[in-house]
Structure formats: structure tokens, C-alpha cells
Structure 1
Amino acid sequence: MSEDLGTPVLDNHLHLDPEHGRGMAAVDDFARLGGTHLLVVNKPSWHLGPVPSDREDFRPAFEATIEAVRDASERLPGRAWPVLGVHPGLISRLVDDEGYEPDAARALMCEGLSVAAEFVADGRALGLKSGRPHYDVSETVWDASNAVMRRAFEHGAELDCAVQLHTEASEDLTEIADWAREAGMDPSRVVKHYASGKLAGPTPSVMSEKDWLQTAAEEGEPFLMETDFVDDPDKPGMVLGPKTVPRRVRWLLDEGYDDAVRTAHIVTPRAVYGIDTEATLSDGEST
């Protein structure tokens, strides 16, 4: 029997790999502990096949994610949504391993984003994923990566959708928020994945460590919660497991942070993604 925490419980960023990883068993663990909703982000394209060399090479990872979301939604008290895009680490694969010039890598990654945008445009995906490397790279690679991210913001503005970012660790990404605003996006709809509890600029998706969550709760600002579960059998201890978000919600409630739980699992998802975690929990209808 699944635990009822008395609230929707959303993991804002995790991966599912039914073919190679735990797949629906991970979803069942999440639901059994009280989890209700998931945002499932596609795994990097080279994890599911060869390093892309043209735009169509991105499509299999997106299709696999949508299929996993469909299966997950059947097992959840609420539902799951896909977030699709291009992992910023791809630029290093292309430049360092495949011999691309940074501008050519940028162009290919932007093609991948355009394919992801097609899925958002036809309603099969909720938002986009982009970002820049969280490790040291050359200036030309850094500039190319920022250009890819700024293209994602243009798509976000055109499609009126959120953009999740993988970036370096920081508590101040106001420059990125400014770029989103310049592209026509509301910067609050830009989400910094793997955030700590405090962030200027985009909306933080806080990794569900207790100290970071306590900081976010006491800040009183919009935030989300995530695990970045990678669903890789070769990396079983990497980041956090699928049970973590419901367990941390229980902990936050026990600590008296009821308002923060409502912020992270009802208010912020509605503001950032336009999803209603209460309605989809009670009647199964999507928004």
C-alpha cells in the first residue's frame, strides 16, 4: 500500500531507463513512499545510442522518454511529464571525441533542441532542457555552449514553455535570467536543475539534501525539489534515489515546513510549468 502524505509530491528532475535501468520499479518505489508526480528528463543521447551526428539522431532518446512517461503515468497516483532537450556535456563529446569545431557542435546541438521543440509544440513534452558545462572548458566551447542555451530560451519564448538548465554550481545566475528575459521568456520559468537552497535569477530545483531544503524553505521563495536519479545500474549510488523526495517531504512536514511543501509541489509547478498537481492527483486529468 502506498503512503499518503496528504499533498501532491513532485520530483522535478529524474531519468528513467526501462531498458537498461530500474525503470518502472523506480517509479513504484517513488509512489509507494507517497510520490505522485514526476518530470522525466531524457538521458543524454549518447547513453542510448551513438553520439549524434545529425538532428534525427536525437529523436530516439526523446521517443524513449515519452514512452517511459506514458508507462509511469499509469502507475502514479498523479502523472508524469517529459522534459526534452540536449545535455550540455554533448559539446565535449563532439569537440573532444568527434573532432567538431565548437561552432559546428553548437549548430548540431541547436538542431537537437529544434527537434525537442517539435515535441513541445505538438503537446507531447512539457518543457525543454539545455544548459552549459559545469566543468572547465575552453573559451570557444564556453561561448558556443552559451549560444545553445540562449537558443533554448528563444524556443521557450516561442512555445511559452519552461526551460530546465544543467549548469555550474552557483547561487547567482542573474546573467542567465537576463538572457532569458532578452529572449522573451519570463526568467522564473527558467529552472536551475541541481540547485542548492539559495539562488538569484532562475527558479531553483533543489537537490533533496536536508540542509539545502531547509535553506530553501526558510528563504520563502519559489523552489522545486528533485533527485536527479540517473537510473544507471553501473552507478547505483550516484546522486539520490527515487524514494528521496517523498521521504524529504515527510521530513519537511514533520519539521513544520508545510508552506514550503505547498510552494514546491503545488504553487511553483503551476507557476513554472502551468501544471496543476492537485487536479491531476484527484481526477487524473492533464493540464
Structure 2
Amino acid sequence: MNDLGTPVLDNHIHLDRENQGIEAVKDFHRVGGTHLLLVNKPSWHLDVEAETGEDFRAVFEETIALAEEATEILRGRAWPVLGVHPGLVTRLTDERGFEPHEARDLMQAGLSVAAEYVRDGRALALKSGRPHYDVTDAVWEASNDVLRHGLDLAADCDCALQLHTETTQDLSDVAEWAAERDVPRERVVKHYATGRLVGGTPSVMSEKEYIEVAIEEDEPFLMETDFVDDADRPGAVLGPKTVPRRVQWLLDDGHEDAVTVAHVETPEHVYGVDTVGTLGS
């Protein structure tokens, strides 16, 4: 195992035991990775075609089980992040005949079930968002209703909310909704960020160019791969070794402070986790 001398956190990764699964965790560990935020895969990827909020529970339980198995391998640990992928709205409306308001209600119910796991300490944070592609006005508004429900739950659970959204560097509208609910802005985390963000904390895709932008911004940030663990797309979006290798690159270039920001200070500020204190030998 390549000990980089620092916690190394991938803030957004997926695992699927039917694909690489725990082998991806072993790859991450071997190159110096220590901590993971494991986000449940979209429900339909696990052959769950939900009819009620309770139907999402199988997806969440599987994610928690994988996080526990990953923790047995890592020097640090894995934490589950649970929620409903915003792309489900299109699957429901375009393929299953739901009206936008019916899709909204089902997705909100699934998020409410996810929040149960945060409240009882079995999950760290929630995940929601809105489509990153063009949709009708009715679907967009329904999706924003789901996102706002996620913020309601984050306020109730006192936790962070990871967001999958359109490509943007400005989430001021979401920051305003968060403020209305007394959710600290830093706990609004934009997954798949490109280094610069107004209205929340960027979880930066670990391409060198995006990391360089984040360092120039001199603001709190996280690093991620969005590894999807799909046999049809091996290595997509970025492979599980990417974050540790980018940390090594940063250290080699003298950016120790940026590594501390992304892997120690920001995780503590956003999620309340101690990546140093949870390191084993």
C-alpha cells in the first residue's frame, strides 16, 4: 500500500458487487486511498423499479453493506450517502407513464426513507438534485420540489446534501433555498463540479485542470471520481485510483495545503467527519 502520509477521500464513488465492487476499493487502497463517500447507484441500475418510497430501501441497504465491507479494507473508512437520483424523474415520466407530480411524490418519499438512515447514524449524508439535461417546465419544477424536500430533510437531519445538477458554476438559487431552511451553505455540495462554484461546496472532478482551478479559487473543495462501476463502461467516469494519484501529484508539486483543505478541513466542515482521527495503522 502506497502511504501518501495524509487522508485521501474520494467524495463521490459508486460500487456494484456485480461489477468491480470491492475490487475497486482494493485498487483505491493500494495507491493510498483511505476514505470513501459511497453513493448509492440509481435505483433502476439495481433493477429496482420503485412504486413506493419503501421500495428504495433495498438500494440503501445494499449501499450500507458495501460501505461496511469497504471499511474493512481501508485504513480509514467508507461512509454511505443515500438518496434518489434526479434522473429517475425522466424514467418515471417518459417510460413508466407517471405525471410529473406523481414522480415528485415518489422521489420525495424515497428521500424521506433515506433520511431515516441518516437519523439513526447508518448514513452520513443525503443525495438529490435536478436533471442535467433539458426537460419540460413541469418536470423541472417537480425536480426542484424534490431538491427542496432534500434540503428540508438535510435541515431536519443536520447533515449535508450532495447534489447532481445541470452544469453550472452558480447555485445561488439553491443556496437561497438552503438559507431559508437554515442549512449552512457549505453543506450544499455540488457533485461533478469543475473547480469554481457560487452557492455551495464544489466536489471537484479530479481532472488536473479542474483541481488547478479549485486551488486558484482558494476556497474549500472536495475531490471525487464519480466512478460508476459499470461493466459496460469500465473506468467511467474516472477510475478508483484517480484521487490518490492526483493527491500524489499535488504533493509532488508542493500543494500540501490544498491536500489538507480537500481531504481534512473540508470533510470536517461539511460532514463533521475526522479523516485524520479515523486513520488506522
The TM-score normalised by the length of structure 1 is 0.97
Query: Gapped runs of 5+ residues in structure 2?
Result: none
Show the counterpart of 2:6: 7
Within a 5 Å distance, the mapping from 1:189-268 to structure 2 comes to 189-268=187-266
Q: Partners in 1 of 2:172 and 2:8 — Cα distance?
A: 28
Task: Pick from 156, 159, 168 the counterpart of residue 158 of structure 1.
Answer: 156
Query: Gapped runs of 5+ residues in structure 1?
Result: none
Alpha-carbon shift at residue 184 of structure 1 (Å): 1.9
Within a 5 Å distance, the mapping from 1:161-200 to structure 2 comes to 161-200=159-198
Q: Partners in 2 of 1:39 and 1:237 — Cα distance?
A: 18
Show the counterpart of 1:35: 33
Secondary structure of 2:10's aligned partner? strand
Which amino acid is the alignment partner of residue 16 of structure 2? D
Ranges of 4+ aligned residues in structure 1 off by more than 2 Å: none
CA RMSD after TM alignment: 0.8
Q: Partners in 2 of 1:218 and 1:78 — Cα distance?
A: 29
Q: Partners in 1 of 2:134 and 2:152 — Cα distance?
A: 26
Within a 5 Å distance, the mapping from 1:28-107 to structure 2 comes to 28-107=26-105
Q: Partners in 1 of 2:192 and 2:23 — Cα distance?
A: 23
Asked whether the 8 Å contact 1:207–1:225 carries over to 2, the reply is yes
1:87-144 CA deviation, whole Å, 9 max, x = no partner?
Answer: 0000001100111110111000000000000000111000000000000000000000
Q: Partners in 2 of 1:218 and 1:260 — Cα distance?
A: 10
Q: Partners in 2 of 1:237 and 1:263 — Cα distance?
A: 26
Alpha-carbon shift at residue 174 of structure 1 (Å): 1.1
Alpha-carbon shift at residue 221 of structure 1 (Å): 0.3
Secondary structure of 1:281's aligned partner? coil
Using the TM superposition, name which of 229-238 and 30-39 deviates more. Answer: 229-238
Asked whether the 8 Å contact 1:77–1:281 carries over to 2, the reply is yes
Within a 5 Å distance, the mapping from 1:79-158 to structure 2 comes to 79-158=77-156
Asked whether the 8 Å contact 1:128–1:152 carries over to 2, the reply is yes
Secondary structure of 1:40's aligned partner? strand
Q: Partners in 2 of 1:182 and 1:97 — Cα distance?
A: 35
Which amino acid is the alignment partner of residue 83 of structure 1? V
Which amino acid is the alignment partner of residue 247 of structure 2? V
Using the TM superposition, name which of 88-97 and 173-182 deviates more. Answer: 173-182
Which amino acid is the alignment partner of residue 119 of structure 2? A
Asked whether the 8 Å contact 2:81–2:123 carries over to 1, the reply is yes
Which amino acid is the alignment partner of residue 249 of structure 2? W
Q: Partners in 1 of 2:15 and 2:42 — Cα distance?
A: 11
Alpha-carbon shift at residue 282 of structure 1 (Å): 4.0
Alpha-carbon shift at residue 238 of structure 1 (Å): 2.1
Alpha-carbon shift at residue 50 of structure 1 (Å): 3.3
The TM-score normalised by the length of structure 2 is 0.99
Q: Partners in 2 of 1:218 and 1:5 — Cα distance?
A: 23
Identity of aligned residues (%): 63
Q: Partners in 2 of 1:50 and 1:258 — Cα distance?
A: 43
